[in-house]
Structure 1
C-alpha cells in the first residue's frame, strides 16, 4: 500500500493534535501538521501532499486565503474542510475551492470522530488520481480547426460511458456519454481541456452527431450481450436555434438502427438560445421524435424551477453541488429533498450526479432519488470496458425479444 501524505492546518494546538491522533490510528498515513497558514503554504512547496485538511477561521492568513494560495500551486492535493463555521459558510468555501480547480473530499463539522476520519481516508484512497498540471514549458494545446475535425472524424475524440445505477435494484440501468480525446502524444484528455476549443471553432454540431453515432453503435454491442442500456448525450441548448436539428438527429439515429426511446439529450448549462421560442420549440420537437430530454446540472447556473416545469423533460439531473456533503449539511439535505419531491410529482426520472460516498448514497436513497452516477459507482470508461462492467454487474433492462 502506497503511504498517503496528509497535512493538517489548524491554529488551535489541541485540535491540531487531536486530528493528528485520529490519522495516526490509520495504517499507511504519514501526517504533517501546521498551526500557521503561511507556513502550510511553504510546506506544500516542499512536499506533494495527497490531502490537506484545513480549518477556515484562523488569525492572520485564514483558511480561505490558504485555499486560494494552494490553488495557485502546480501540485493540487485533495482538500477537506474541518471547521465549526456555519454549514452554509462551509458550502461556500467548498464551492470556492472547486471553482479554483481543487477537489474537495468533504466538509467535516467539529468535533471530528474517528469514524469521520476513517471515512475521509477511505474516500481519499478510492478518489481518482490528481491529473498532474501541465509543465510550465509545455506547449499549449492549440489545434487548428482542421486538426479538431480530423480528431473527431478519425475517432480520436470519442465517447466514454459513465454508468447510472438504480437505487431500487442496485444495478446499472443507463449511461451518460462523456467525451474524451485519446491524443496521440498527450494521452487521454478530459473534455474540459478541448471542448472550449471545439466550441470556438464551431464544431459542436459535428461532435454531437459523432457522439450520437458512437452511442448507438455501443448500444448495439451491448444488446448483443443481452443488455438494453439507454444513453444520455449532452446537447448545448444554443444548437436548438437550428430548427432542423431534431429531424437531423432522428434521421441519424434511425440510419444507424438506433432507437430514439433509448437516447436522452441533456440540455447543458452554460448556453441558451438567443430567442426563448427556439429553446421551447427544439425541446418539444425532440420529445415528439421520441427522444428523452433531461435538465442537466439542476441546482446551479441557468437551471430553474420554472424551466423544469415548463419544458417537456423526462429526467432531471441534480448537480453535484447539491450532492456533495448532503449527508451532513442540513441546508443541502433540505434542498435535495425539495428537488426530489418536485421531480417525483412531475413524473421525472431523478438522477444525482457526483456521488462519491456511501453516506451520500444512503441519503439519496432515503429521499427517493431514482438513479445515481459518480466515482463511487464508476468513472467514465470506453464502450468495451462498459460492456465488461455490464457482464459483472448486470442490468435490469434486458434486451426484449425480437418480433
Structure 2
C-alpha cells in the first residue's frame, strides 16, 4: 500500500506540488489581510450593522490587538484551545461561546465540541504553543485533505478535472477560512477522504479512519451506515452479500466510542443529555429536512442551490457519490436554530460536489470562481478573527 501511495505521488507530483504551493500562498495572504486591513471600513462597505462591528475583543477596535490573540478568541477556536488546555473541566475564566446565552456552565457547553482536534493541538503545543498549534494543525490538514480530494477525484474524472476539483475545494470560502484558522473540519476531511480511498482495499483500516472522523466532528456518525451501504452496493454485482454484511457489522462496531461519549460520558460529566446541551447552549434542534431554509442568507441560499444542482447532475453519472451527498445535504438542511444560517460551511465538507464542479467547469470558469471564492474567504476570515459573525 505504501509503495502504491509513493507511486501515485510521483506520477502526479506536479499537481500535488502546485496544490501545496497554492494553499500556502492563499493562506499567507489571508493572514496578511487579517493583520493589515481594518475591519470597520470593510464592514461599513458591506453594510454590516454597527452592533455586529462592536462585538470584537474588549468591545473596542480589535485592529490594535495582535493577530494571534484575535485568532485565539475566534468562535470555535477559543473552545478548542480551552479543551486542549484544560479538558472539559470547570476552570475560572473559561471561554463562553460567543453570541449564545445559556444558564449552563462553559465547561458543560464545551461538550458540543469533540476532543480529537483538541488532542492534536495539545500534542503540538509542547513545541510551539497552543495558538500556533491550532493554526498549524488546521493548515496542515487543510493541505492534506485537498491532496486527498485530488486523489479521490482521480477515481472518477480525468487528471485536469480532478485538479480543478481540488482547487475549488481548497478555495471554497468556508473551507479556506476555517482551514486557515483553528477549526476541526480539515482534520475531519482528512480522515473521511482517507477512509474513502481505503474502502475497497482495507475495510478494517477504513473503519478506524471513520471512527477517528466521528471523534472529530459529530456528523461523522453518518459515515458508518453510509460506508456500509456503499460497500454493500459495490459488492452486489459479485453477489458477495455475506461479505458485505460482515463488513457492515464491522464498520458499525467502530461507532461504539462515539456512542459511548454521547450517551454515557457526556451525561455522566454534565448531568444532562447531549441534545439538551445543544439546545440550551446553541439553540440547535433538528426538524424535517428543509425546515431550516427560512434562516438562510442570500449567499448561503446560492451555495445550497448550486449544491442541489450538482447532486441532481451527479445522480445521472454516479449514484453512489450522489447518494452520499444527498444524505449529508438533507442532514444539514434539517438543522434548526442559529446554526442553520451556516449551511454554506457544512456544504464545504460534501466533497463529491467538488468532483462534479471540477468536471463541469472549464479552466476559465474555475479561475473566475476561484477569485470569487478567495474574496469571500478573505472577508470571512477577516470578520471571523474580529469576532464578527458571517453567514455565507
**Global fold match (TM > 0.5):** no
Give the TM-score normalised by structure 2: 0.24
Pick the structure with greater CA Rg.
1
What is the TM-score when the length of structure 1 is the normalising length?
Answer: 0.24
Structure with more helix by fraction: 2
